[in-house]
Amino acid sequence: MHRLRRECPWDAEQTHLSLAPYLVEETLELVEAIEDGTDADLVEELGDLLLQVAFHAEIAAEQGRFDLEDVARGISDKLIARHPHVFASEPVPEDLLATWELRKRAEKGRSSALDGIPERMSALTRAAKVIARSERHGLPVDVPSGADGNADADGFGRRILALVAEANAAGVDAEQATRAAVRELERRVRDLEAVRGAAPEGH
């Protein structure tokens, strides 16, 4: 990265902001490798994501802000602090996830259980996160069933929210389940196209 920043015009002009789309893309490619790829795919995509970490750290280091060692030390210190049942003498909490959330909230001085949830999450992922955070902070979430027969956007929204809550209760990742279902649908469409010997009209 030192050399690329010095000798490659494209790498030299990048900023944290300009790299953000690549970070999102590489993360999604890693998810695909986890779901459908081989070990070689996973190694490659983990490397691409690691490159993004190194790239951002290099940019910051050039500005005297922090470097890759600071990043590594920060996550190490965080893991130790949030696992006193591993690195200290505290007993294992009965609810590990709730305890994790409470420690994180105290560390960051958050006033709400919902602070820190990224605004750019997909709607399904954000719904699942909001429900889970609320439950882990002991805040009962009253999610309506939504099965009222309404065919408008509000009715569909309530029904989807109810499904997310149901998935959370069953330990199912709603986003991943939806993504898997969409991929299965895509596979069925491609199989149908192969049988017919042609793509749908307009493609």
What contacts 113, CB < 8 A, 6 or more positions away? 101, 105, 133, 134, 136, 137, 139
Q: What pLDDT does residue 136 have?
A: 72
d(CA 52, CA 60): 12
d(CA 68, CA 59): 10
Does 160 reside within a domain? yes
pLDDT tens for 147-193 read 555 567 778 888 888 888 889 889 888 888 887 887 787 777 667 65
- Report the pLDDT averaged over residues 34-41: 94
What Cα–Cα distance (Å) separates residue 27 from each residue in 30, 31, 127, 159?
5, 6, 20, 29
d(CA 141, CA 70): 39
What's the CA angle centered on 130, arms 126 and 136, to 5 degrees?
140
d(CA 203, CA 189): 13
Top-confidence residue, 193 or 32: 32
Q: What pLDDT does residue 200 have?
A: 47
d(CA 19, CA 51): 11
d(CA 53, CA 72): 10
User: Looking at the whole model, is its pTM more than 0.75?
Assistant: no
Does the structure show a pLDDT above 90 at 43? yes
Residue 175 lies in domain: 112-203
d(CA 63, CA 168): 43
Does the structure show a pLDDT above 80 at 7? yes
Residues 161 and 202 occupy one common structural domain: yes
Which two tokens mark 152? 């408008």
* Domain count within the chain: 2
Top-confidence residue, 90 or 54: 54
Burial of 195 (0-12, 13-18, 19+ CB in 10 A): exposed
Does 93 reside within a domain? no
Does 90 reside within a domain? no
CATH of the domain at 177: 1.10.287.1080
Domain limit, last residue, from 31, 65, 81? 81
